Structure 1
Amino acid sequence: MNSNSANMLAGARRAVSLAEPAVMGVLNVTPDSFSDGGRYVALEAALERSLVMIEQGAAIIDIGGESTRPGAAPVSTEAELERVLPVVEALRARSEIFISVDTSNPAVIQAVCAAGADMINDIRGLVRPGALEAVVAAEAAACVMHMQGEPATMQTAPSYTDVVAEVRAFLDDRVRACCAAGMAPERIVVDPGFGFGKTLEHNMALLRGVGELGAAGRPVLMGVSRKSMFARLFELDGLGARINGSLGAAFWATLQGVGIIRCHDVRETAQMVCLARHLMQQG
């Protein structure tokens, strides 16, 4: 999947190397996210957590102001901005880290990019009216993700004939749409959307084929951190089981050439990437 053109992700003001998997640290500034909801809603806590993740090896910080867990309700533009904008501003004042914001809202996209965000991580693949145009105008990087349905209902009855082929086709289509709108290819990564309208079997098929899901030569962002797919797989729903699954998947993803690994456990994930990279070295 990786080629020279796929070894870099460019934002408007800075870039991040994807020559080996870049670790993306998750920062949820929401009261209701599935793993760490409420822990980082205060600005000082969010900033401190960001700086800790950078020190642990994060190359990207991904800030989210709207929970997208199964069953989650949408939030207003005003609420989302109140949550994420101060964090983007504070982090940008303290660090040159590559900042991503997890949003589908064009108004939020415009505001956070003006405040210094480098990338928009959109679970809806920039399909909302105005979202793609806002990213192009900001010259930001973007992650376009596949999701079947909406967060409130996506896990009700997900169905595919060939999940890998269908997800790949959607991602190909979104990459073409982004390029047609004026986005340079080096600004785009793709996400298969593990757990977003997928059963355990669908998730396993996508994980098995994750190295082949890069659309139009663009790198894959993998986000499986602490997800319930591991609780179902191991038939044991505890944080330890979810973390073990996440770290095993990070090791596998590194071997498969994934570009970005989105995670909550930054130090441990960076260690898995390091181990896999060393084992891949010749001689």
Structure 2
Amino acid sequence: MAKSKKSAAKGVSVEPEKLAKKDYEEQLRKLHVELVKLQEWVREKGVKICVVFEGRDGAGKGGTIKALTERVSPRVFRVVALPAPNDREKSQMYLQRYLPHLPAAGEVVIFDRSWYNRAGVERVMGFCSEEQATSFLKAVPLVERAIVDSGIILLKYWLEVSPEEQTRRLEARIKDGRKIWKLSPMDLKSYSRWYDYSRARDAMFKATDTEHGPWLVADSNDKRRARLNIISDLLSRVPYKEVPREKVVLPKRQKAGGYREPDYPLRRIPEPF
């Protein structure tokens, strides 16, 4: 987690300078190359990786997942973002609906929020009882032990954002027509309960930060820096190696063989730009 620097003159905390876009894009490009190497190794060796992203609303989970997956195959890197449970799922054992989404050989599954909904939003907003939340926190380390013992590499990331930065980001969503869909009525209710979420987070860490499933915390006040740090950390925790590939050479195209473009008009789209 990045730490604030202190001014020698005044002794006050100063936030580190945010990463410039040019520097971010240069470093992200290098990490994307490594992610492709990871992808090919996962596919070649039949490795199974499960990555969990959690954090408060506005912490930057979506942007981090996009940065992580935008240059790799969705057939290997699969994002799971489950909607609210239906009536049938509500009657199941709580963890049951998440288990089918765990990775098979040659897959990296990324949970955009996960079974930890029960320890966070469900507990804070009263969608489950305290008894259910407590029972969940007791069971999760055992379930995650079984997940790891099955050969899955489990990585759990918590994105930590300050109250001031969260406010700035949520206000930006209200003003930006491209982002308004990210702000649900539940987000607004959750926003007012910062310290209830803090208590729930602390209880979750205490119960589920284990040797086989540790929580990895990233400071996300600088979204660009957080994305790079998380991707770099992920790559460092998987012992991948570059898979040898034959040099790619484009073959010669076939000759036209008398082919001509059709003379009927094509339904071309308008070109306003």
Structure of greater Rg = 2
Q: Which has the higher contact order (CA 8 A, sep 6+)?
A: 2
Output the TM-score relative to the length of structure 2. 0.32
TM-score (norm 1): 0.31
